[in-house]
Amino acid sequence: MIKILVIDDEANIVRLVRDYLEQAGYHVLTAANAETGLHILRRETLDLLVLDLGLPDRDGWDLTRLVRSDRQLANIPIIMLTARVDENDRIIGLELGADDYITKPFNPREVVARVRAVLRRTSAGKTTFSRRISNGDLTLDLDEHSLTVRGQHVELTPTEFELLSLFMENPGHTYTREELLEKTLGYSYEGTGRTLDSHIHNLRHKIEQDPAEPAYIQTVHRIGYRFAKSPGDRS
């Protein structure tokens, strides 16, 4: 059974999210603060983390940084829950490595839909045999969900991995923003354009020698993005 951890200090929110996720068939663990949540993260094998930003002992951004910097935890998908409605807060969360961002108040059915979408895209690339794709200094292992850049291991969030694998499997193909959102996020909501751009921004900083002049992920003006057939190739 898929195991999900919900970290939130509001008991009514935890109860609501847990009930709906359990009705959807998921096994749900809960924590009311970051330290308890971190203990569970390190003790259990989890498939997804639903994380409130406003925790009493450590904010969710700090916990996200910690999870993404820990090689044993880095691949766990993260959905942030928050009462903060500022678009910049959403962008900060995504830049730190969150896979999705839901503002309070929310419809619990939407949370279930977002959980399903994140789990679907993070499991879609799993295969029964090892496949590797190389382009320039990049080598992406589709089975191990790992990336090396110029011989060094680079951690990717699940969403970043899905984007990069789509790009590297189809070099030279121009994707519209709508296509990328559908293929990697699997749904639409307000602000998705900036959400996608944030993920692209993060990827470029991880794989490009000069993110301001990207050799791999290229912007196609007024359309979307494409991945170069070879580094720097503009054809």
Region 13-25: mean pLDDT is 93
Examine the pLDDT at 148 and tell me if it is beyond 50: yes
pLDDT one-digit tens code per residue, 169-206: 888 999 988 888 877 766 554 455 678 888 999 999 99
Examine the pLDDT at 147 and tell me if it is beyond 80: yes
Examine the pLDDT at 130 and tell me if it is beyond 50: no
Q: May I ask the CATH class of domain 3-123?
A: alpha beta
Q: What is the DSSP letter of 178?
A: H
Please report, for the chain, the start and end positions of each structural domain, with discontinuous segments joined by +.
Answer: 3-123, 132-227
The DSSP code sequence of 37-105 is HHHHHHHS--SEEEEES--SSS-HHHHHHHHHH-TTTTTS-EEEEES---HHHHHHHHHHT-SEEEESS
d(CA 157, CA 4) in angstroms, rounded, equals 17
pLDDT one-digit tens code per residue, 36-92: 999 999 999 999 999 998 888 888 888 998 898 888 888 899 999 888 767 777 777
pLDDT one-digit tens code per residue, 102-127: 888 889 999 999 999 899 877 754 44
The fold of the 132-227 domain, in CATH, is Arc Repressor Mutant, subunit A (1.10.10)
Q: What is the DSSP letter of 142?
A: T
